[in-house]
Structure formats: structure tokens, C-alpha cells
Structure 1
């Protein structure tokens, strides 16, 4: 039972009630904060079945969680030892053993009036937020989550496709936290040879292995007092996963070739484009490490699922690239092509496409002909990515009908948005009849 994790959370959140139960739902740990918040001393709480009935009618719901479930942000009204009602917000994390079997849970209860609310650092839709910008409700929820989780040191797992901005989210959490004046160190676990990844993480002493001619300080030490961002965490080999898990459990690490232990004073944020639950089921990722890292999950949607953000994003990215230079304007035809493309590389690909278009333009106006060829040639929503979903003739019919509908029957405007002349559009319409 990972008692150390509950104790670490209690140290980080001294005013919260941190309660850990065994698989049979008897209390195994009752933090000092729980004593203060609920009024029951630990000696009366430990080994009890939730103090059910005699002390608190809602106590069972305060910490209990069913296997493979996660209850986050659940509001409860509890009765204290003095008979008073207290409203709390509960965060529950299930615990699993090495075989993936349910092994208990940890609950964190926070007095509801003191919980950071959306108004504390609420982002404004359509305004930049730590380098990100969006009108999309899902992204607005992500921004709100950033402000909330930044006030704790709990591990965060960011999941999203390549190019969705996972590192931006990690940096935003760091900048919103009390660690913002300390280092933010990012490392891509997939970009390093597995043989040297352990040294990059924990460091090594001189002579630790062949070729270790000098001491090397790992990222855990480089990020001391700050935030360590481990991107592509799913690519870490299983043997190194076990060592990382040990560091998370003990809060200490040992450089290669050394016997000295160092305190791992870092906030851990990880990211992946993979479904870690599936990786764990297939044996490629440890179940216990998954639940250590995935205390707070944040999911980033791909750009194709928030197309209405593209004009706003494009304007924002062009402003970033232009700096003090005149910011180029996008024509309506260019915007339409950007919105019709599926963006497999997400925001990163959009940024690169705009850089290309700016260079190809006169610097003042970006039109459709300035866009990369793949955007002009693959402008069908969801179809272009599949080689055999439709013939070119079928795609043309779909494009033409959609363009005419968008421009309310104005053939000149529809032709312009399609990148063809009005005469060509007439000819295609006759062919399709």
C-alpha cells in the first residue's frame, strides 16, 4: 500500500483531509488535516470502516471509489465530530497492485469555500493564455484545469496528438504555480537512446560506465525546486519505468555509479500521444506507474475537432511570427482552405504552413495560392486523408456543392474560394449534372 504517496500529498496540502483506505475500505491513513477538517482524531479513525453510521452519514462517499473508477471534483456535505455540517470537494484516486487489481484508494477533501474557483485565474475566450488561444469549450476547460492544478504539486498527465501543445500546457502549469521562478526542464523520452536515458534522468558520476569521463547532472537535479516535464513517457523502457516508480514512491533518486541519494524536489508533468491504459493492458507500461503519473489527467483535442479556432489561431500565430513587422492578412479563400484541411500535425503544422505562406506572399496579404501544396490538394474534411474513400469526381461534387452553399449561391465567390474561374465552375457544374 503506497502510504508514502498519501503522506506526500498531506505535506503538500496540509489544510486538506487526506484519507487512504485498503481494498476492504477500512481506513489506513488519516492525515493531520483530516483531524482538523473533520474533527476526528486519527486514533479513532484508523482501521475503522469509514466511521460509517455512528459519526458521519456521508463518510462512506467521502473516500470510497469503485475499481477502475475516478471521481473528481465531487461535492459532499459531511458532519464533523462537533455535529456541524461542512461542505467539501472530494478528489479520489484508485490504487492498484502490480497485477492491476484494485487495492484501495486515496481521497483528498478540501473545504469547499477555500477551493480555488474558476474566477481566480479564469482565461478569457479568444484571448491568449500562456501562448495558447481558443474559443472552444473543451480548450477553455483545459485552461481552467491549468489554473486549478497549478495550485498543487500533484502529478499531471497530458494526453494529445503530436502538435496539440502538450508542452505549452506543462509550461503554463509551471508559470501558474509557486515554482514559476525555478527551472522548467523538458525532456523527450522518445528522442533519446534507451541506454543513455537513465543517465539523462538521474545523472551519473565519473567512471560509472565506459565513456563516463566526467560527472553528469541529470534532469531531476537540473529541475530542482521547479518542474520536470517528461514528454512521450510511454516510450520509457520497462526496466527504467521501475526505477522512475521508485523515485516517485520515495521522493529520492540515485545517480548512476553513486551510492548517495538526492531529494527529488520537482513537480512531475508527463505527456504522451498514446492511451496508457491500453499500453498497460498490453504489458508495455506498468499499471502502478500509470496511476502514479495519472493523478490529474488533461486531454488536448486535435485541431480538426476545433476547426472554428483556426482563424483565431492563424491570426495569433501570424502576430507571433511577425513581431514588430506588419502582420499579413489572410484572404477569405485562404481561411476557407485552412479550415477545410484536417491538420494531422495539428497546431504545429498550422504554424509551419503559415510561415511558408508568409514567405511565399508579398508580406502584406496571404492568399490561397501561397499555402503549401498539401493544403490546397487535401482540402476535404475527413476525406483527403483516406486514399480510397471517394473518387476525384465525387470529391469535386462535394466541394462544389459545399462552396456554393457557403456563399449562398454566389458563383463568383464560390469559384474564388475553390481556386478556379467562374467559367471553370460553370463547366464543372454541367459535367456533374
Structure 2
């Protein structure tokens, strides 16, 4: 792991006020980067399936883009986690966002040249931005007090709302801009994504100093050396129960990701097939993404005060409600679809923040970024599975069946968290 000068470590180690000020500054930098990152994320969510349907000529494969960029995000999550562990959050997150920007530019080029092969490759690289956008939430927790970790996650996530909500609502003007350039209208949001991801990476690269993960790790090591030098070698292993915390947190995030991605991916296709235009699609997806991130401030406080497990259960119940509302929505009902996608985003928000807090609680600083990256690989693969199967399920059955299946699947996280509560006292 890259080292921070000892004098700098001591200046923060012996000054809680200075450390708190750096914590607040770190959150501010992450917030700024997440605003740009949210705009980049929204492009693939909003028009990725529509672009694939247009280029491939079939709705049955419209879930492929979501599968590809979430699969790409799996590889990126692994790499970003490893880079962050060795060289800090700054290096890992900046690299991931810039790679995502390159991928978005590749999608535009693929559409212009009508190259399906290039489209698939570019979507894989574009997934790096999605993974990085998600992993940035951890950067806010490195210097956070244990009782404010979920709140720190929420502050990092809520800033994504500005870009993520603006992105889908810029579909029409960005489409007009792309048309004016003589390229397909659906590439417009990816033009925006390319620039937005690049800016997010540059903000982190230049301003996230000193690196929060490297500094927190160095301070922790120094504190152990000073308070218990004789037993320092025994202080590194994870505390009892940490493996269970990792397992439960991972399960919560994986199940919520599958349910959310599957329903979200096919909603634009479902809407267009029933006569809704791009502007209406943008509004519904914008509301969905808004509810994915905007409630974070409240969710973080609830997770810290009520507990990780109750909010994980709330995630399963909310996602079930989203599936039921989406499945029963009349084809022409914008209102009910907006409610369904709002609940879908809210349930995902509950699951992600409670699951993230469980993971942070259960991982030591010395291996935290690496473990977090590996877990985000599973989350990305879960999203890829949900995205790939969503088109097949809808083509073979209906959007209603997909929605109900996603809602019911999310309920599986409830017995998992109940199991964790029952078995904890025996460890």
C-alpha cells in the first residue's frame, strides 16, 4: 500500500478537529464528483436498451446493454477496489470514471459506424463508470465515526441525484444536439456521459488529497502501535462475526440489485411499445433515479438510528410493492408507472445503504477497499444477470410477469437477515 508521510499522519492523528475537517472536505469532493457521475450513469439506464433495440432490430435482446455495462462494471469494481487498496481512493476512483468516459465515447462511435461489435465492447468499458459511481460511496466512510457511517454513505449518494435526475430529462435536447451533429439521436445522452464521467474523474484526481483511505489506514496502524505494541500482531484479524456481516450485507445488496435492474431495464422498452415517447420515458426514469438517491439523507439517518437489519427488511417489502404496482399498471398509465419506478428506486436505496453499512462495519481498513471491490463485483454480476434475463422474460411472457418476479425475489433477503439475528448470539 502507498504510504503517507508520517508527519502528515501525526498531524491528523493527534487532532480530532483537523481529522473531522478533512472528513467534511472529503465528502464535499465526493459530492461534486458524484454530481457529474450521476449524469454519466443516467445515459445507459435511459437509452441503452433503446439503442440496442434500434441497432439489433429486436426487443428480445434489448436487455443486452444493461447486461454488458453491468458485466463491465463487475471487472471494473474488482480493479478499482484493488487499485484503491494499493494506491488509495483517489487513484482507483479517478481511473474508473475516466475509463467510463472513454466507453461512453465508444458507444457513440459504434452507433455512428453501425458496429454492433464495437457497441458491445464500448458498453463493457462504459460499465467502469457505473462501478466507480457506486464505489465512491465508500470514500465518505473511511474517516467517518462508526455511528455515522450510513449517514456518510447517504451524503455521498444523494449528490448523485442532481446529475442522475438531470440526465434522463436531457434525453430530448441531447438527442436534438446529436441530430444536429449528424449522428443518431440516441447517442446524445452518451455524449453527455463521456464528458460527465471525465469531469468526475478529474475532480477526484486533483482534489481528493490527502487520500482518505490511506490516511485512515495509517492513523489506525499508528494508534494500534501506540496503545498495544505487544499485541499489535493480534489486532489485525477481523473481529468475531465479521464474516457474517459481510455475507448478510452482500446478500441484501445483490438481491436488491437484481430486482431493480431487471424491472428498470425493460421499463423504457415497455413504455415505447405502448406509444410513450422519449420525453415520457425520460421523466419516468428520472423519477426512478431520483428515488434511488434523493432519499439517501433520510435513509442514512434511519440506518444509523434504527439499525441495519430493520432497513434491510424495509427494502424487501418496498421492492415487492414496486413489482406489484408495475405489474398492475395499465399500458397507458404514466402515473402508476411513475409510482412503481419511484418505489423501485426507494427499495434499492434502502437495500444499498443498509447493506453498505453492514459491509463497512465488518471490514478492517487494511483490506476494506479490496473486499468492497470484490463485493461490488457480485453486485454488478447480479445486475448483469437481471438485465440479460429481463428482455428474455418479457419477450417470453410479459412486463407484468417480470415485475412480479422481481418483487417476489427481493423478499428472499428477509429470511437472510432473520437468520443473521438468530445466529449472532451463538458466536
Same-fold call, TM cutoff 0.5 = no
Higher relative contact order (CA 8 A, sep 6+): 2
Computing the radius of gyration over CA atoms, which structure comes out larger, 1 or 2? 1
Structure number with the higher strand fraction is 1
Structure 2 length as normaliser, TM-score?
A: 0.22
Q: Which has the higher helix share?
A: 2
